[in-house]
Structure 1
Amino acid sequence: MNIKQFASDNKSLIGLIILMVLVSIANANFLGVDNMLNILRQTSINAIIAMGMTFVIITAGIDLSVGSILAFAGAVCASLIAADMPLVVALVMTIAVGAALGATSGTIISFFNVQPFIATLVAMTMIRGATLVYTEGRPISTGSFDVAESFYQFGAGYTFGVPNPVIVAAVVFLVCWFVLTHTKLGRYVYAIGGNENVARLSGVNVTAVKISVFAISGALAALAGIILTARLESAQPTAGLGYELDAIAAVVLGGTSLMGGRGRIFGTIIGALIIGVLNNALNIMDVSSYYQQIAKGAVILLAVVVDSRGKANA
């Protein structure tokens, strides 16, 4: 592979390196170990959601409900932990709830031929409402049982000096990478994104695959909700607001095409890191949160323009 091809295939990685170099020049403390671990910890939640979103977007879909699923799953998990439910049981049940909510959207999209944008927009609204009903608009504390302390360590603790959420995100990355690159489901995901009709004529069960990718997206959004709830030791009914936009941004920055058929989990991780580094850099430089939104939007727009020009010149 020549240098030009490598640069074309890894634009997001090169962009991340350039961004980190520029920020480290502006602030010598940026590359400190503590700050790097802080960036990874803060990025882990968006990265987990974005990896699930990658499956959906590769099939040329979109999932706007992930932020609401995160909030609802967090509320469910907090109530289970507060009831002194065994930790593993609580985690499995919460992830299953997220997968079921995602699969419901996939079912509506597949069986009723509803556009993913509309179906998940409705799901986002309804699940957010269900969260407010479930929590009565108030935070749910995880309580003070022994299981609550173990739960807190899951979201805020360290293992060999590495934040546990980062380890969880790394495991999710390996599983998602394997599924997309070494399983039939992964091949079918790319095939549907490339041309759904051709995939169907080739014998691919398009309905089952679509339901599966939305279930994966919902499950990973629930996992992110678990981590956030564990770290805060409570479930906030307004948690996850705007998280779907950050997840979509990470996927796009990572080079996954919104038209479907093309994308990599590794690229999504890089995209999430770009957003994490950018947020951290702007905080270090004490930039107003209002301007941070503008800067984030400009970076995403630049990535989309570069990607579009690259495909046009191909």
Structure 2
Amino acid sequence: MDARTQNISKKKMSSTVKGYLILCLMIFVSWLVFKLLTPDNFGTMDNMLSYFQASLIASAGAVGFYLVIVMGMFDFSIGAAIILASIIGCKLAATGYGYLGLLGGCLLTGAIIGACNGFFYVKLRIPSMIITTGLALIYESLANMIAGGAAQTLPADLRLFGQMPGNLILALLTFFAAYAILNYTKIGTYTYAIGSNEFIAKNIGIDVDRYKFLAFLISGIFFGIMSVLTISYGSSMVAVTGMASMSRNFIPTMGCFFGLAFKKYGIPIQAIVLGEFMINIIFYGFVALGAPTAIQDVITGFALLIIVALTTKTVRSAIVK
């Protein structure tokens, strides 16, 4: 290895360490603030483990959604996809198919939803936020029809992925898969190329439409995994209409903002996972304080936007193609 290569390697390692240090400091400060404000009912080791387990759910979806958002696209159908996939997986599991029905139903539904999002976005040439908003209404209606207006409850003997170690194992496999896709496949390489400059990507022969479709498809599969964790952790799911599912979009999206912010440090997947953990610390901190839900949402949103803004000069996730 020549001197130049060694210097590049050292700079990259130094940048990565800096990214981890910033993330750990942010998590510690978030914990410390709420621990000082409410020392009796926040931030114990058991509490932190509970916060971490809750963060695994959104992280599983966010690491897949990162493929979409890093290209400058968006998805407003996340919540509707989670609800529809959870309901289908739950019904299949409860009707005799067990874990095969739960996993297969959630992942296949997520893949179909992702494929639909990608297909209509590529073919209609309409901004992704508009396409996915319209499709979200359809997914909500389908979930409501399938559920028949009743809450779907996962049988108690099929909740392996709602607690340790099942949820941790599934989440880790998901994170490793996302990391491998981004760093060791053509899809990851072309995703970054398109996100950096779509015009140049086209000129060097990359089939942009194909990889945008694949990004939505893969993202949908990861949301299917998130659905498995969601229904296993919460045990039941209720269908909603009128875009009420939009509230489920927030946390996975904020996790992706962390991924974008820390991409320059070479740790987007790790930043998403740790960022989601921090989001949960802040959320449960407000719960411990007894703050009203509306105040929690406003303060959490502003706090996270400020944090992300401070860690990156340019967050291009707001660009919607």
> Residues 46-102 of structure 1: CA distance to partner in whole angstroms, max 9, x if unpaired?
111211221111111111111101000111011101211142244123201211111
How far residue 15 of structure 1 moved from its aligned partner, in angstroms, is 1.8
Among 141, 160, 164, the residue aligned to 1:158: 164
Could you say which residue in structure 1 is the equivalent of 2:50? 38
C-alpha distance in 2, partners of 1:190/1:32?
39
> Residues 154-201 of structure 1: CA distance to partner in whole angstroms, max 9, x if unpaired?
22x333xxxx32332222111111211122111111001011121122
The answer to whether 1:251 aligns with 2:262 is no
Could you say which residue in structure 2 is the equivalent of 1:183? 185
Contact 2:99 2:158 (C-alpha < 8 Å) held by counterparts: yes
C-alpha distance in 1, partners of 2:284/2:133?
30
The answer to whether 1:225 aligns with 2:227 is yes
The answer to whether 1:63 aligns with 2:49 is no
For residues 253 and 264 of structure 1, do their structure 2 counterparts lie closer, same or farther at Cα, with a shift above 3 Å needed? closer
Q: Secondary structure at the match of 1:129?
A: helix
Contact 1:255 1:263 (C-alpha < 8 Å) held by counterparts: no
Could you say which residue in structure 2 is the equivalent of 1:145? none
Greater displacement, 98-107 / 11-20: 11-20
C-alpha distance in 1, partners of 2:77/2:224?
11
How far residue 109 of structure 1 moved from its aligned partner, in angstroms, is 1.3
Q: How does 1:51-90 map to 2 (within 5 A)?
A: 51-90=63-102
Contact 1:65 1:120 (C-alpha < 8 Å) held by counterparts: yes
Contact 2:256 2:272 (C-alpha < 8 Å) held by counterparts: yes
How far residue 137 of structure 1 moved from its aligned partner, in angstroms, is 1.9
> Residues 111-169 of structure 1: CA distance to partner in whole angstroms, max 9, x if unpaired?
22121111111111111111112112211233xxxxx44422222x333xxxx323322
Letter in 2 for 1:152: R
For residues 41 and 6 of structure 1, do their structure 2 counterparts lie closer, same or farther at Cα, with a shift above 3 Å needed? closer
C-alpha distance in 2, partners of 1:33/1:302?
28
For residues 195 and 48 of structure 1, do their structure 2 counterparts lie closer, same or farther at Cα, with a shift above 3 Å needed? same
For residues 23 and 141 of structure 1, do their structure 2 counterparts lie closer, same or farther at Cα, with a shift above 3 Å needed? closer
Contact 1:75 1:135 (C-alpha < 8 Å) held by counterparts: yes
Greater displacement, 274-283 / 16-25: 16-25
The answer for unaligned runs of 5 or more in structure 1 is 143-147
For residues 4 and 81 of structure 1, do their structure 2 counterparts lie closer, same or farther at Cα, with a shift above 3 Å needed? closer
C-alpha distance in 1, partners of 2:245/2:53?
16
Contact 1:70 1:221 (C-alpha < 8 Å) held by counterparts: yes
For residues 64 and 25 of structure 1, do their structure 2 counterparts lie closer, same or farther at Cα, with a shift above 3 Å needed? same
> Residues 264-297 of structure 1: CA distance to partner in whole angstroms, max 9, x if unpaired?
1111112211211101111122222222112111
Could you say which residue in structure 2 is the equivalent of 1:271? 275
C-alpha distance in 1, partners of 2:26/2:74?
25
How far residue 223 of structure 1 moved from its aligned partner, in angstroms, is 1.7
Please report the TM-score for the alignment, with normalisation by the length of structure 1: 0.85
Greater displacement, 297-306 / 5-14: 5-14
Could you say which residue in structure 2 is the equivalent of 1:111? 123
Could you say which residue in structure 2 is the equivalent of 1:195? 197
Among 218, 222, 229, the residue aligned to 1:216: 218
State the number of aligned residues: 299
C-alpha distance in 2, partners of 1:234/1:242?
17
For residues 297 and 86 of structure 1, do their structure 2 counterparts lie closer, same or farther at Cα, with a shift above 3 Å needed? closer
Q: Secondary structure at the match of 2:252?
A: helix
For residues 158 and 5 of structure 1, do their structure 2 counterparts lie closer, same or farther at Cα, with a shift above 3 Å needed? closer
Q: Give the structure with the larger helix fraction.
A: 2
Identical counterparts, % of pairs: 20
Letter in 1 for 2:164: Y
C-alpha distance in 2, partners of 1:116/1:217?
14
How far residue 203 of structure 1 moved from its aligned partner, in angstroms, is 2.0
C-alpha distance in 1, partners of 2:16/2:88?
45
Could you say which residue in structure 2 is the equivalent of 1:127? 139
Letter in 2 for 1:294: V
C-alpha distance in 2, partners of 1:189/1:301?
25
C-alpha distance in 1, partners of 2:262/2:294?
28
How far residue 253 of structure 1 moved from its aligned partner, in angstroms, is 3.3
> Residues 189-248 of structure 1: CA distance to partner in whole angstroms, max 9, x if unpaired?
100101112112222222221111111221122222222222333332139541112211
Contact 1:46 1:243 (C-alpha < 8 Å) held by counterparts: no
Contact 1:59 1:189 (C-alpha < 8 Å) held by counterparts: yes
C-alpha distance in 1, partners of 2:294/2:101?
41
C-alpha distance in 2, partners of 1:255/1:88?
34
